[in-house]
Structure 1
């Protein structure tokens, strides 16, 4: 279909999805955006959040912790640091991801401590958005 774009979602562990999609909602580091057929070329970094892919009118959600999205008029490729289908995201997985982010913040060089704090805050917010409690104190 002319109104669809190729969408590919890849993490270091596996390819999570490769489909024709009508739209992709992306948690961009500079703000959320929606990519559709004919979108102007763009590369953006991701923040922890929910990536939503609509295929055949049905949205499918994935949690992502960061990475990059490359958007072109023909498609979207997301290279995620970590990603899972929303249905596979559990309290234990979220706790592990938040603990890792908390450790990175604690060990961060002062020049990147603010970036690490933002990553941790976004991770905690993502958990709250999907109904999970990250079991971690706020900064």
Structure 2
């Protein structure tokens, strides 16, 4: 099976650079799996779990925002926030969820008669809650 180059970076650090057989991406318009010879694509990311399948197994990362560029020979993910799934503790998840809720409150204050940005901020909260549930963490109100 052909491989592709995978790179994941966030503003804080480079999280991964490896040969992979497939990369499962939580795209804003739906999940997608990139493999070698994939059609060139750029997608924005929604909060979710990004999975990388490689010769040593599968690595999982929680990503929040950013974008992925897919070429025939590789996938580059530039995430606003990213961390290995194993590093996402309940406290770290609570912090991410609190940031999303603060962004929603700010959007409600700033965009009183413009539902689009407020709806986007509310969706971010829903996506974060879903990620937490997926990885076994709970949203505490």
Shared fold by TM > 0.5?
Answer: yes
> Does residue 125 of structure 1 match 2:130?
yes
What residue is the counterpart of 1:89 in the other structure? 88
Q: Which runs of 5+ in 2 are unaligned?
A: none
Alpha-carbon distance in structure 1 between the residues aligned to 2:139 and 2:45? 20
- Shift in Å, 1:59: 1.0
What residue is the counterpart of 2:98 in the other structure? 99
**CA-based RMSD:** 1.0
Q: How many residues align?
A: 135
> Does residue 72 of structure 1 match 2:82?
no
> Does residue 113 of structure 1 match 2:112?
no
Structure 1 stretches of at least 4 aligned residues deviating more than 2 Å after TM superposition: none
- Shift in Å, 1:134: 2.1
TM-score, structure 2 normalization: 0.93
What residue is the counterpart of 2:51 in the other structure? 52
Residue 62 of structure 1 aligns to a residue whose secondary structure is strand
- Shift in Å, 1:102: 0.3
Q: Deviations over 1:81-109 (max 9, x none)?
A: 10110111100000000000000001013
- Shift in Å, 1:66: 1.2
Residue 121 of structure 1 aligns to a residue whose secondary structure is helix
Residue 99 of structure 2 aligns to a residue whose secondary structure is helix
Alpha-carbon distance in structure 1 between the residues aligned to 2:137 and 2:127? 13
